[in-house]
Structure 1
Amino acid sequence: MNGSLPDPVRPDRLHVTGTRIEDLLRDFLARAGELLDAQEQMRGLLEAVVAVAEDLSLEAVLDRVVKSACRLLHARYGALGVIGENKSLSHFVTVGIDEDLARRIGPLPTGHGVLGLLISEPAPLRLHDLHQHPKSYGFPANHPPMKSFLGVPVRVRDVVFGNLYLTEKEGGGDFTPEDEDLAVALAAAAGVAIENARLYEDARRRASWLEACMDVTGRMLGDDRTSEPENVGLDQIADRALRESGSQLALILVPDGGVDSYCVAGAAGTESAHFAGNILPMDSAVIRSVAATGMPACMDEAGDILGLADGLSKGKLLAIDLSAQGAHHGLLFLVRAPGTGPFAKTDVEMGAVFGSHVALGLELDRIHRLREQLVVFSDRDRIARDLHDLVIQRLFAAGLSIQSLRRFTTGEPALTRINAVTAELDETIRDLRNTIYSLRSSGEQELLSSRILQTVRTATRSLPFAPHLTLTGAVDSVLDDGTVTNALAVISEGLSNAVRHSEAEAISVSVSVEDGMLTLIIEDDGRGFRDAVPGNGLVNMEQRASELRGSFEVTSAPTKGTTLVWSVPAH
């Protein structure tokens, strides 16, 4: 009826309702715990990402990645293996193993077993027990026990840079799928940080190489350079290349005149004393290609090129051409210690730039020395000419005047004195003639390139225009007196013919040393001839080439000019 009290709730229904509330409350607390755990994980991941990105040094970034992963995923041991060019681990960063233990364990892993599985199959891998996996390779002596395992690849611009390895989760449990997700996320952030660090390191290394290039150029073009012996200071330049490239040995080689033969003009680093001043044959096809194309080349074993039996024989070698203005000035060799990995792309590229600066410095140094010698030769010519045309003539006239005094005296003492003065003047004239001869012949001990310039200038002095002269290769390495004398004679005779007979408006002289041959080419745009005219020196040129086991060729046609090509072995 209306106003009556509701029926009382049965006790069993109250029990069921309370149980449901408790279940809901437990479920709520569990979900809240999960949310808190997720929040804690995300905070830990964020802290790890920030920590990884704090440094721009690649080595520091790698170390932070491993430490952050161990802290985030509660792993006792962690490592990051960098994959090298041959698909093995070229670098290994560890956390949890101190230096003493690492020394007792021995060499670092190179990518065998489970570690190699991640290299061949770059995907996340979780294991309950490392030893139970079919690819397990086992541990070396003194290695700490490891059971649970988590590995994820670290990618940089979609290319696998290396792998992150974590073992021995704290508490003895296994790594969970959530742990795997966190590791993958951290690896992705690590890839970005590693890329930034690599870009920064690349920019820093390039800047350092460019600074080295500027320093080398300034050193080689210093004002006091021409007062020093040629090629002096190349040891310091080799040392700079050594430091910039992280090498153990640096050699600067210059051609010594023989075919594929070089002299070590600069050396720095390990075993440099063994090479300094040595003559090294370079009959390797790779080295010949470097010299011919100007492109640097890397070789796996330095011993094959340098003849090393141990020490650096297994180290990587980088060969760099030293060429400028079409002239090959030598080679730069950089050798890494065995086990330190190949030369980075940056070192190869910037090493080639460094080599071009060294070559340009050598070329400009040669030109400056040549110019200084030409100044000296010009002064000697002027002094010799003045002595001959002025001083000797005056002394000769004075001697004649003194001899004429005989007519004005008959006294014996006076005649004796006149004879003595006359003899002294004659002796002075002979001394001056010897001095003049020495001034004019002193060039024979100078560089061949400077003597060629002198010869060309002398032979074409009567022309209303200057001939064009080109020197290519190690011209100054030709030292044989017979070869030098004949070459200068051919240049003089060839130019003399062109000046007297060709009626040319342009004459060019090219002298080159390539592939062990000294080649002279004299061209004019004159009237030419159909047949060689006897008596114009062509027979002499051909005979000179024959005596030196060379060749001589004349090409000419009426109104088309004449070309002489004289080639002999360079000694």
Structure 2
Amino acid sequence: MSDELHVARRLSAAVLAVSDRLTVPEVLQTIVDTARELAGARYAALGVPDEAGSFAQFVVSGVSAEVQAAIGPLPRQHGFLAVMLRDPATQRVADIRADPRFHWWPAAHPVLEAFLGVPIISGDEILGALYLANKSGGFTDADEELVGVLAAHAAIALTHARLYARNRELTIAEERARIAHDLHDAVAQRLFGLRLTAQAADVLLDRDPAAARRHLTEVTTLAKEATEELQAAVQELRPADLATDGLPAALRKQVSILDRAYNGAPHLTYGDDDPPELPMPARTVLFRVAQEALHNAVRHAKATTVRVRLQTHDPDVVRLEIADDGQGFDVAATLKAGRSLGLRSMRERACAIRATLTVDSTPGQGTTVRLEARHA
């Protein structure tokens, strides 16, 4: 195999790793290993700084695990490590030890000579840097160009990781807000009713013991209902493992949680024909829409039966359907009045993955929520 073809294939593998299903650490390790190999360096590293003067990530290549352990904790931002995080220019020196910007390294650290540092940049922000050292004969312009390509793809991987983290934080915040709203609507109201009923029983205890006993029976019922609401909320705080278990299993678990929490209320059924698994963003959206629709059915619609179905609608479409026989509502009027945050949330989630959401409901005739997403 020619050198040019080998380089092209290794670069291609590193680039594809960015869009593959690998984790960010795996992508960064692939980039560091590729940079070291193609530039002919003995050592390579990729550093992503934190806000405390150290590094959030520091991936190395060419240094054994034993030597890494002997070196000790992750390095601080000093010397050339810090230079690369402040200056967007590539740094190339024949012997790093002779440069006035060089500081020191731990006793167990390999001795570095020829050095090439390439910043990882997104817009005007330096996200990190690639460090290469100890190439026989020193680094060349071609090495700079090649490592620059890998640094650009490291920037893509790190940017994707940031966006994923931010989206996850937003999702968590949304779910916490929804659970807080549910707790206020359900548990707080029941506890308020429990308090008033207990007060009424206390007032009636001497003059009408029979009425007081009836109120105390109601206190027991309200306490039981509040406990069930709290149990359901606690279960929801335990996230579904969509990545490991898949969407069908996560839906079954959610139905089981609600069935236990609302024992003797709505009868929940689940049906599916094991449709093909969706990409993770689509799985998450379908699961969250199912959660919202199920909660609406069991807490607000006064349904006696709720059916959940996940199936392949045609070769390219997976359909989720949640249907209940509850009191129903006027969809158009509700949306126009802006009264339903749940409907709006479901629509926004569907739009995020270009899925189709329909909500069919008529007062007195139940509600059907249907979401169709493409798996290919």
TM-score, scaled relative to structure 2: 0.49
Structure having greater relative contact order (Cα 8 Å, sep ≥ 6): 2
